[in-house]
Structure 1
Amino acid sequence: MKKLFMIMVMALFTTIAIGQEEEPLFLLFEFMHVDEGQGTAYLETEAFWEKVHVQRVKNGDCIGWDLWRLEPSGQKQGSQYMTVSLYNDPVKMMDGGDFMKAWNGAYPNLTDSESNAKMEMTAKSRDLTHRVFLQQIDLTKDDFDMPLGTLAVINFMKAKPGQSAAYEKMESEVFKPFHQSDVESGGRSSWGMLRNMLGYATEAYASHITFDMYTGYDQFFNGGSNVPATEAQQKAYQEMNTLRDLKSVTHATLVKKVR
């Protein structure tokens, strides 16, 4: 009887564990435009700030920070870099945390004049063009840990009015299994979907973002998809344009990472 009870308890906890959702993830994308001739200065600026972000993680203000180099990246083609701050709490994302505590923790010996000089260097090296607040709403099952050099193909999607729920449903129920099979066959390393938390109205540039992760351009060009699309997926491709517009595609290479 005792053995049967233990088996039932183990089964219950297994069911609970399977039913639990993964910890929510919230992301702040910040796009940086770097003027011609400021590339070296900008990278020096981010190297300085990287230590501040390490301290932010230690303080519990965020759970991570990344720097991505974007392509295409000409002076008239938009931002050249993007930073991503990661949170497990949307309130922390919106508050931003205690930057001065992180600043002083990272650089306790900086004088006021030196701190001011670093802030001036930051302002001169780049323009913060815009921010996007996002929530991760879907992800393939994989163990990809995003090493430096990771390539992300970022697709900016605009759901048509009244079609957001239908679009998300199609991505998750029809296309995610295809992406999962592609991950398992080595065609890519990961796939995920993000929802724009603010600016969700019709005038927003993108209501959703999907991303495909690759180890680098070698996997991107040579991995290929070894899994044929199902009949339902082929039909869904035709229907997708009635649900959303693909606004733009950006390639991003991971340059720095703090966890």
Structure 2
Amino acid sequence: MKKFLLILVCGLLWTNVLHAQQTQYSVFEFIKVEKDQLFDYIEFKDLTEKVYRQALNDKRIKGWDFWKVQTGSEQGEYQYIMVTHYDDPVKMMNGLDDEAMIEYTRIAYPHLSDAQIRTLFKQSIAIRDLPVRLYMRELASTNDNFQYKPGVLASFDLMKAVEGKFSDYEKAEIEVFKPIHQSRINQGMMGHWSFLRAALPQGSEASSTHLTVNLYKDYVQFFNAQAYEDMNQTAAQRNAVNEGLKSRDQKWIYLANLENVVR
């Protein structure tokens, strides 16, 4: 009996470890660039891709995406969204400091001198405004084999849970909305869906508390998904959807195309 209990406890601990390892943490950076510096920033993102590929090889990150915003809110007029993925919250919070970025730049551009690398790094930082950063933890995602490649489309929906309905909102996303998105994916009308919560404590004045990411292979799939209506929903299911919508406020929506990706 004692042996059985020991095995059971070890099994539970191992399950928790595996779950922690599988949890994804992501930093979303909403970036604004002045119009006269957009061309320079195109060069910067290509440099950044090479740098983050070195960080991936060094297992400092899990992945990196660079999105060009097509439509979005009036707030900030962001042109780009940069997303860095981690498998550990400590790695996420530490991020990549300037010296690490310079070192990876040195590896990616071995023909440049140290002075040239530092100048290149300083110039790349100078052409963008300080981004708005969101530190997020993934709570749920659909079962799919979506391929991240340049040209795919994303809808980043920033949500704020209604005061007093925080847990109700999370339950609605996971138990009500996730199955709807999974159904769309199974029917070929969507690529991927994930639901994330702010990883850092926030006060009541926070502009958003959660984020949903909806991915599509192209605009055809995106518009087919918008026109989708499940006529087979029961009255109870429709009521659950309506109650879920009442538990959150959809603050901002950014539609963006993937330009660079590191996996």
Alignment coverage as a number of residue pairs:
243
> Which of 213, 216, 219 is the equivalent residue of 1:217?
219
Amino acid at match of 1:249: I
Matched, 1:244 2:248: yes
Q: Please give the residue correspondences for 1:1-259 in structure 2 after superposition, counting only pairs within 5 Å.
A: 21=19, 23-72=22-71, 78-97=77-96, 98-223=100-225, 224-225=227-228, 227-228=230-231, 229-259=233-263
| Matched residue, 1:7 | none
| Helix, strand or coil at the partner of 1:153 | strand
Alignment correspondent of 1:3: none
How far the C-alpha of 1:241 sits from its partner, in A, is 4.4
> Does 196-205 or 39-48 show the bigger shift?
196-205
Quote how far apart the aligned CAs of 1:177 are: 1.1
One-letter identity of the residue aligned with 2:69? L
- Which string of whole-angstrom CA distances, capped at 9 and with x for unpartnered residues, describes residues 186-244 of structure 1? 12111110111125321211100112111011111135426333323321333234311
Q: Deviations over 1:116-159 (max 9, x none)?
A: 32123213322133111001110111111222111111111001
Percent identity reads 35
TM-score with structure 2 setting the length: 0.84
Separation in structure 1 between the aligned mates of residue 154 and residue 41 of structure 2, nearest angstrom: 21
The letter for the 2-side match of 1:242 is K
Partners of 1:52 and 1:212 in 2: CA distance:
27
AA matched with 1:40: F
What residue identity is the alignment partner of 2:174?
Answer: S
Give the Cα–Cα distance (whole angstroms) in 2 for the partners of residues 58 and 203 of structure 1.
39
* SS of match in other structure, 1:105: helix
Specify whether residues 105 and 41 from structure 1 end up closer, same or farther in structure 2 by C-alpha distance, changes over 3 A only: same
Structure 1 unaligned regions, length at least 5: 1-12
Matches of 1:128 and 1:216 in 2, distance apart?
30
TM-superposed deviation, 1:77: 5.5
Task: Check whether the contact 2:105–2:117 (CA below 8 A) recurs between aligned residues.
Answer: no
| 1:63-112 alpha-carbon deviations (Å, 9 max, x no partner) | 11110011226997621001110110111111114334323322334323
Structure 1 moving runs of 4+ over 4 Å? 73-77
